[in-house]
Amino acid sequence: MKNVDDLIASAAELADRGLSKGEIADELNVSRETASWLVDRSGAATKPEPEQKPDGPHDIHVDWNAIGSGGRRLTYIGRALADLLTETHDSADVTIGIEKAGVPLATSVSRELETSLGSYSPAKHQWDEGDIEDLGGGFSRNFAPVSGQRCFIVDDTVTSGTTLRETIESIRAEGGEPLACVVIVDKQGVDEIDGVPVYSLINVVRVGEK
């Protein structure tokens, strides 16, 4: 996707397929506010959203399809993420991938670091309208449990840090210990969340505003 029109078209297609706005945000690697704006602009929205500035929310779209569409490239990126995690000087029992994009990355990281593999579905996947605080995420029973385990967390991007914070809190609530987070791209320049370090291959730095 090269421009905003492409993003709007993609948001419309995803909305027509029945994805929530939270899932659309995850698929397009943008914030929930940006996903809502894109769906509204596409005409696929069924309910009004809070008014945005005419030029839309300030956000950055990250398209890593060239990585995700190639198993070998995905493996190489997973190895790079695993290498970042070795800087923690900690060893984890479980590598948690945040659905959807974080899971294939976590699979590669888990294999490289020789840990078990876990999967977490965040609350935003259920979000469409209203207060996301009323929703909850959860760990998949088809993957490794986190109770009593030391955990690394893997995702593709940091947009606001909300999903990483939710995952950290959920791991602790399950009796696990989050050691570190790692992502491909950090849009916010986040060094740590709730005392847990965050590592990224790429940091996006905004210079000025539109």
Q: What pLDDT is stored for residue 12 in this prediction?
A: 83
Backbone angles phi, psi at 64, to 5 degrees: -110, 35
Tell whether 103 and 189 lie within a shared domain: yes
Tell whether 57 and 76 lie within a shared domain: no
Domain count, the chain: 2
Phi-psi region of 49 (alpha: psi -120 to 50; beta: other; left: phi over 0): beta
Tell whether 44 and 89 lie within a shared domain: no
- The answer to whether position 208 is within a domain reads no
Q: What pLDDT is stored for residue 190 in this prediction?
A: 87
pTM: 0.70
Supply the range of the domain harboring residue 79: 66-203
- The answer to whether position 38 is within a domain reads yes
Tell whether 95 and 125 lie within a shared domain: yes
Tell whether 83 and 169 lie within a shared domain: yes
Tell whether 93 and 194 lie within a shared domain: yes
Strands (E), the chain: 94-98, 116-121, 138-139, 150-154, 157-158, 177-186, 192-193, 196-203
Residues of the chain with pLDDT under 50: 1, 46-54, 127, 132, 210
Tell whether 72 and 154 lie within a shared domain: yes
Q: What pLDDT is stored for residue 35 in this prediction?
A: 74
Single out the residue in 29, 61, 93 at which a domain terminates. Answer: 61
